[in-house]
Amino acid sequence: MSMSYKRMLLAGASAALAGLTAGQASAATCESLSKLELPHARITLATPIVGTFNEDTAFGRAGRVYENMPAFCRVRGLATPVPGSEIEFEVWLPPAEVWTKRLHMVGNGAYSSNIYYDQMTARLKSGDVAVGTNTGHRGRELTFAIGKPESIVDYSHRAVHESVVAAKAVTKAYYQTPQKYAYFSGCSTGGYQGLSEAQRYPEDFDGIIAGAPGNNRTHLNFAFLWNYIANHRKGDDSTQIIPNAKLPMITRAVTAKCDALDGVKDGVINDPPSCPFDINSLKCKGAENDECLTAEQIETAKKIYAGPKDARTGQQLYPGFPFGSEGVSAEEDTDKPGWSGYWANPNKPTEPQRTDFFRYWVYDNPDWNWWTFNWGSDIDVVNNKIAATFNANNPDISRFKARGGKLLMFMGWQDPVGAAGEAINYYEAVEARSSAKTAEARRTDTQSFLRLFMVPGMEHCAGGPGATYFNSATRDSEPPVRDATHDIAVALEKWVETGTAPARLVATKFDNPKGENRKIVFQRPLCVYPQVVRYKGGPTDSADSFSCVMP
Catalytically active residues are 188, 415, 460
Contact assessment for residue 307 and residue 422, using Cβ atoms and an 8 Å cutoff = no
Query: In 33-163, which ranges are E strands?
Result: 41-54, 65-79, 87-93, 102-106, 129-133
Q: Is the dihedral of CA 451, 457, 463, 469 positive or negative?
A: negative
CA dihedral 122, 124, 126, 128 (to 10 degrees): 130
Output the CA torsion 248→250→254→259 (10° steps): 20
Answer for the pair 126, 96: CB distance below 8 angstroms, yes or no. no
Q: What are phi and psi of 464, to 5 degrees?
A: 110, 175
Residue type at 127 in one-letter notation: G
54 by DSSP, 3-state: which?
strand
Helices (H) and strands (E) in the chain, counts: 15, 13
Give the separation between CA 223 and CA 417, rounded to whole angstroms: 10
Q: Which helix H or strand E contains 535, and what residues bound it?
A: strand 532-535
Query: What count of other Cβ atoms lies within 10 Å of the Cβ of residue 95?
Result: 18
CA distance 69 to 383: 46
Distance CA 279, CA 242 (A): 13
The number of beta carbons lying within 10 Å of the beta carbon of residue 371 is: 10
E-strand ranges in 55-197 read 65-79, 87-93, 102-106, 129-133, 181-187
Contacts with 167 (C-beta within 8 Å, 6 or more apart), sequence order: 89, 91, 103, 105, 129, 131
> Residue 194: which H helix or E strand, with range?
helix 189-200
CA 141, CA 356: separation in Å to the nearest integer? Answer: 8
DSSP string, 422-478: HHHHHHHHHHHT---SSHHHHHHHHTTTEEEEEETT--SSS-SSS--B--SSSTT--
SS3 9: helix
- Can you name the residues that pair with 293 across neighbouring β-strands? 283
3-state DSSP assignment of residue 248: helix
Structural contact between residues 192 and 213, judged by C-beta atoms closer than 8 angstroms: yes
**CB of 225 closer than 8 Å to CB of 375:** no
